[in-house]
Amino acid sequence: MPTYTRLQRHRFRPGTVTLRDIRGYRDSTNLLIRKLPFQCLVCEIAQSIQLFPLLRFPTTAVLALQEAAGSF
Q: Which helix (H) or strand (E) holds 36?
A: helix 35-49
Answer whether residue 51 is part of any domain: yes
Q: What is the pLDDT of residues 20-43, one digit of tens each?
A: 999 988 888 788 889 999 999 998
Identify which of 50, 26, 40 has the alpha carbon closest to the alpha carbon of residue 66.
40
The answer to whether position 21 is within a domain reads: no
In sequence order, the 6+-apart residues with CB closer than 8 A to the CB of 55 are 43, 46, 47
Predicted model pTM: 0.64
Residue 46 forms part of a structural domain = yes
- The 8-class DSSP code of residue 12 comes to P
15 domain-assigned:
no
Report yes or no on 19 lying in a domain.
no
What is the pLDDT at residue 4?
Answer: 76
